[in-house]
């Protein structure tokens, strides 16, 4: 409701009364693959399309999902007046979560930075814990349908991410195992246009846009 | 020592006939290879399988790799599926290469 007094004059763009709840789905795919929209008609790069060589992986059960960023901020300080501005530089985006599901190992091995698995088709799955491969990058795709009736959704796509940091597996009595310390760091992808160097956000909502 | 006879045109045609007959017989006894079908691995893993039906051992490299499989083993592989989560249906472990 507009205020009787004190409302600014001129063009005003206000926010929608739409509230998002809960974690998005989390998918990732080897960044060697090309995104589904590569690019789309508006020259944005986003979406995943799994192939036999580059399958899409989906995390199943997780909690404490949070997306943030790391930015270097240096003030432009003048002794006469104090800070006049700030120089900011985005370093990376970071998705953190705690994973509650473990299997199959062929998915978990990416999250834990462990070796390629070997599967004996009918009974065994094996992975080694060796050196970390620092040359593995992933596209990360986080869609969230916020209106189930109309299918309105928002998605976040990171172009070039890596699982970083040390994980920790909690094995408490009476509780299911969880893997904490999972950190997906989304770096700049220099093959993408400057305006979407780190990622893309897409919203689909025909009734509101 | 017997004197060597000269070779007549009849001799040549006889040798050619015999050679042709031998070639035809050899062609008949050639053993044909068992029929195989190219199957692609969709599991993101190195996959090994010993077929109890044919006794054949198979090894696929990572996801996307292809191996020629005995026709008798194809049905089992195409029916093998991996469980899905989050509303997704189970996904096939292998597919035929067109």
Q: Note whether residue A2 is domain-resident.
A: no
Q: Which domain holds residue A56?
A: 26-204
* Alpha-carbon gap: A19 to the closest alpha carbon of chain B (Å): 23
Percent of chain B with pLDDT over 90: 53
Q: Which residues of chain B have a CB within 8 Å of the CB of A54?
A: 63-64
* Alpha-carbon gap: A12 to the closest alpha carbon of chain B (Å): 41
Chain B residue with Cα closest to A56:
B44
Q: Could you tell me if B93 and B67 are in contact, meaning their C-beta atoms sit under 8 angstroms apart?
A: no
* Alpha-carbon gap: A198 to the closest alpha carbon of chain B (Å): 27
Q: Which residues of chain A have a CB within 8 Å of the CB of B88?
A: 58
Query: According to the model, what pLDDT value does residue A39 have?
Result: 95
Is B16's pLDDT higher than 80? no
Q: Note whether residue A138 is domain-resident.
A: yes
Range with the lowest mean pLDDT among A85-94, A178-187, B15-24?
B15-24
Range with the lowest mean pLDDT among A98-107, A180-189, B10-19, B31-40?
B10-19
Mean pLDDT, chain A, whole residue set? 94
Predicted-assembly ipTM surpassing the 0.90 threshold: no
Query: Measured between alpha carbons, how far is A54 from B63 in angstroms, rounded to an integer?
Result: 7
Chain B residue with Cα closest to A103:
B83
Is B24's pLDDT higher than 80? no
* Alpha-carbon gap: A110 to the closest alpha carbon of chain B (Å): 11
Q: Note whether residue A209 is domain-resident.
A: no
Chain B residue with Cα closest to A26:
B86
pTM, two decimal places: 0.83
Residues 29-58 of A with CB under 8 A from B: 51-55, 57-58
Q: Note whether residue A10 is domain-resident.
A: no
Burial class (CB in 10 A: 0-12, 13-18, 19+), B93: buried
Cα dist from A191 to A48, A90, A137, A181, whole Å: 17, 17, 14, 29
Q: Any residues with CB less than 8 A from the CB of A31 and at least 6 apart, and which?
A: A137, A138, A139, A159, A160, A161, A189
Query: According to the model, what pLDDT value does residue A49 have?
Result: 97
Percent of chain A with pLDDT over 70: 99
DSSP bridge pairs for B37:
B69
Is B92's pLDDT higher than 70? yes
Q: Note whether residue A55 is domain-resident.
A: yes
Q: Note whether residue A14 is domain-resident.
A: no
Size of interface A-B (CB pairs under 8 A): 54
Query: Measured between alpha carbons, how far is A93 from A68 in angstroms, rounded to an integer?
Result: 6
How many structural domains is chain A composed of? 1
Q: Note whether residue A190 is domain-resident.
A: yes
Average pLDDT over residues B57-82: 94
Average pLDDT over residues A142-170: 96
Is B28's pLDDT higher than 80? no
Chain B residue with Cα closest to A53:
B64
Q: Which residues of chain A have a CB within 8 Å of the CB of B85?
A: 58, 60-61, 101
Q: Note whether residue A5 is domain-resident.
A: no
Q: Could you tell me if B45 and B63 are in contact, meaning their C-beta atoms sit under 8 angstroms apart?
A: yes
Query: Measured between alpha carbons, how far is A18 from A183 in angstroms, rounded to an integer?
Result: 28
DSSP A46: B
* Alpha-carbon gap: A14 to the closest alpha carbon of chain B (Å): 35
Q: Is A165 on the interface with B (CB under 8 A)?
A: no
Q: Do A120 and B85 touch (CB under 8 A)?
A: no
Range with the lowest mean pLDDT among A47-51, A121-125, A157-161?
A121-125
């Amino acid at each position: 409701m507009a205020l009787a007094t004190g409302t600014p004059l001129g063009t005003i763009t206000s926010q929608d009364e739409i509230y998002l709840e809960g974690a998005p789905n989390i998918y990732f795919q080897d960044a060697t693959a090309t995104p589904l929209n590569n690019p789309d008609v508006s020259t944005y790069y986003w979406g995943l399309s799994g192939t036999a060589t580059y399958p899409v992986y989906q995390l199943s059960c997780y909690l404490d999902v949070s997306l943030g960023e790391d930015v270097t901020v240096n003030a432009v300080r003048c002794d006469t007046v104090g800070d006049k501005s700030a120089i900011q530089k985005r370093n990376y985006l970071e998705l953190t979560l705690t994973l509650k599901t473990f299997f199959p190992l062929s998915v978990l091995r990416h999250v834990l930075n462990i070796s390629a698995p070997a599967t004996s088709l009918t009974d065994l799955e094996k992975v080694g814990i060796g050196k970390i491969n620092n040359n593995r990058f992933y596209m990360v795709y986080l869609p969230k349908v916020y209106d189930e009736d109309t299918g309105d959704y928002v998605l976040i796509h990171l172009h070039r991410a890596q699982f970083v940091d040390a994980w920790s597996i909690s094995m408490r009595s009476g509780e299911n195992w969880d893997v904490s310390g999972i950190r997906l760091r989304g770096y700049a992808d220099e093959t993408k246009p400057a305006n979407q160097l780190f990622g893309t956000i897409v919203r689909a909502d025909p009734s509101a846009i | 020592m017997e004197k060597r006879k000269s070779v007549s045109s009849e001799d040549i045609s006889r040798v050619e006939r015999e050679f042709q007959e031998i070639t035809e017989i050899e062609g008949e006894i050639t053993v044909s290879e068992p029929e195989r079908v190219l199957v692609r691995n969709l599991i993101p893993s190195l996959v090994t399988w010993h077929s109890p039906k044919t006794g054949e051992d198979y090894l696929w490299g990572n996801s996307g790799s292809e191996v020629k499989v005995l026709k008798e083993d194809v049905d089992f592989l195409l029916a093998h599926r991996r469980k899905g989560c989050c509303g997704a249906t189970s996904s096939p472990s292998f597919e035929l290469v067109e």
